[in-house]
Chains A and B, each alone.
Chain A
Amino acid sequence: MKSNIVTVDVEAPLTKITLTGNSSVNVGSNATFTATAYSSNVKLPDINITLYEVNTKTNIASGKTNSNGEVSFSIKFDNAGDYSFYAYSGDINSNTVNIIAKPVCNSEQYYCSILNKCICYSDNASNITLTLKNANPEFLLFNGAWIRDYYFYLKYMAGYGYFIGGNSCPTSWGNAPNNLPPNIYFRDIDISGIVTDANGNACGDTGVCQKYKLYFWLNEYTLTHTFYQCMNDGYNYYYDFDFNMDFTYEVLSSNYAKLADSNGIQGYIYADEDGKFDIKLRVYANLSSYSHIGSSYNDCSAPEMEASPILYAGFSEYNTVAVQTVEYTVKTCKHLYWYDQYY
């Protein structure tokens, strides 16, 4: 036996739109954004959706969702920069998708993500200045005596990473400058000089981005600070390049000291109840502080971090200093605009 027939109308109001897409794209290439229309958790076909660019406040494209409730937009990016998109239909807006359009660098450039620009390599040798200032060095006092015999040493690797060719410098680690004092106290250290090869010739050539390591030796232990020096003179003007690192050590208490510097290095030294000391040094922000002839322009305020930024050091229970080997890398970028020459 068959019953009567009842009818039910099932409606599907648009309740949600999601938008997905690439997080980065090369300039001149297309990125794909996909909007999906939902009613509750059911994907809706035949929904007209418009893609909207936040910065320019313009409608970029529109389309209708397919049987899977999706519509895709392929957008070409002609200019480098940060872009944000969302999709909408009616009074329903999707989430926002951010994308970075990256410039495509040629063989004489490298990409600096901080600036989102292509940076040219230097044709010229570089001056390098390293400054270590120990304004409150008490934390290095141990049993009332200065910790001495704190060696430091600067090595460089010319042509690291971005070597194109024609470089007269070795591509293995070399020592530079050659006139560093062999034995100093750990306070107010200034190092300056021109990086040269073994024959005293200035290093650097087209396409060279030099990598440096600064070694601190304390007894048999070593601290290593690695950084890069990259120059741009894409318009073939010569600029000196100074790189400054200022370390300041602030004593917070007799057994606890804060390490900080104006360029964004921060760490702590403290002693536990057993009299053991530990230092943790962390690079967290801006290590790039530099100037060049005629200008203090600094457009690379936040260096990229590489490798582990943690430095460990400590004092052993035998009252001898024990500093463990540490390496952290700070990659700096610098972009010199052509108008700098008029400053």
Chain B
Amino acid sequence: MKSNTVTVNVIEALAKLELTESKTTIDVDSTDVFTVKALDIKNNPMANIEVALYEDNNKIDTGTTNSNGEVSFTIKFNKKGTYNLYAVST
């Protein structure tokens, strides 16, 4: 006798967001590029992950990862100072 069939959907789970920057020091009124990479538990890149970039608690940009699992943000800084940025998946 054969039982009923059950279906299991195995989905990729976002396991890690890596944020990198092109320069750690820039002049005011110039830009820096920040790249977010989305990875699953096996460190495979994940596409179509919506990501927001934050400076402190302020959302400054959003984007969606590409087939390489990456999305880049070009940010212009108009004031002197030290800025801490991070990304959050949405």
Interface residue ranges, A against B (CB under 8 Å): 1-13, 39-42, 44
Q: Knowing A1-B17, A40-B27 touch, does A8 contact B86 (C-beta < 8 A)?
A: no
- Contact at A2–B87, with CB atoms within 8 Å? yes
- Contact at A6–B26, with CB atoms within 8 Å? no
Closest CB of chain A to B69's CB: distance in Å?
13
* Bound Cα distance A171, B82 (Å): 75
- Contact at A8–B36, with CB atoms within 8 Å? no
- Contact at B88–A8, with CB atoms within 8 Å? no
- Contact at A10–B79, with CB atoms within 8 Å? yes
Q: Knowing A2-B17, A4-B18, A41-B29 touch, does A10 contact B23 (C-beta < 8 A)?
A: no
Q: Knowing A39-B28, A40-B27, A42-B29 touch, does A8 contact B17 (C-beta < 8 A)?
A: no
- Contact at B27–A8, with CB atoms within 8 Å? no
Q: Knowing A1-B88, A1-B89, A3-B87 touch, does A11 contact B27 (C-beta < 8 A)?
A: yes
- Contact at B80–A3, with CB atoms within 8 Å? no
4 more CB-based (< 8 A) A-B contacts, given A3-B36, A8-B23: A2-B17, A4-B18, A7-B83, A7-B85
Closest CB of chain A to B87's CB: distance in Å?
4
- Contact at B27–A3, with CB atoms within 8 Å? no
- Contact at A8–B83, with CB atoms within 8 Å? yes
- Contact at B88–A2, with CB atoms within 8 Å? yes
Tell me if A's interface is mostly helix, strand, loop or mixed. Answer: strand
Closest CB of chain A to B34's CB: distance in Å?
7
- Complex A-B: 29 CB contacts under 8 Å: A1-B89, A2-B17, A2-B86, A3-B19, A3-B86, A4-B19, A4-B86, A5-B86, A6-B20, A6-B24, A6-B84, A8-B23, A8-B25, A8-B83, A9-B24, A9-B81, A9-B83, A10-B25, A10-B79, A10-B80, A11-B25, A11-B27, A12-B27, A12-B79, A39-B29, A40-B29, A42-B29, A42-B79, A44-B80
Looking at A3, A9, A12, which has the most chain B CB atoms within 10 Å of its CB? Answer: A3
For A15, the closest partner residue in chain B by CB is B27
- Contact at B88–A10, with CB atoms within 8 Å? no
Q: Which residue of the partner chain, among B27, B77, B85, contacts A5 with CB atoms under 8 Å?
A: B85
* Bound Cα distance A203, B47 (Å): 99
- Contact at B24–A7, with CB atoms within 8 Å? yes
- Contact at B82–A40, with CB atoms within 8 Å? no
For A5, the closest partner residue in chain B by CB is B86
* Bound Cα distance A41, B21 (Å): 24
Q: Knowing A10-B79, A10-B80 touch, does A5 contact B19 (C-beta < 8 A)?
A: yes
* Bound Cα distance A10, B77 (Å): 7
Query: Which A residues lie within 8 Å of B29 (CB)?
Result: 39-42
- Contact at A6–B86, with CB atoms within 8 Å? yes
Query: Which A residues lie within 8 Å of B19 (CB)?
Result: 3-6
- Contact at B28–A8, with CB atoms within 8 Å? no
For B51, the closest partner residue in chain A by CB is A3
- Contact at A10–B85, with CB atoms within 8 Å? no
Q: Is B7 an interface residue (CB 8 A)?
A: no
Q: Is B78 an interface residue (CB 8 A)?
A: yes
Query: Which B residues lie within 8 Å of A6 (CB)?
Result: 19-21, 24, 34, 84-86
Query: Which A residues lie within 8 Å of B18 (CB)?
Result: 3-4
Query: Which A residues lie within 8 Å of B82 (CB)?
Result: 7-10
Q: Which residue of the partner chain, among B16, B34, B83, B86, contacts A10 with CB atoms under 8 Å?
A: B83
Query: Which A residues lie within 8 Å of B85 (CB)?
Result: 5-8
Query: Which B residues lie within 8 Å of A13 (CB)?
Result: 27
Query: Which B residues lie within 8 Å of A39 (CB)?
Result: 27-29, 80
- Contact at A10–B17, with CB atoms within 8 Å? no
* Bound Cα distance A39, B23 (Å): 19
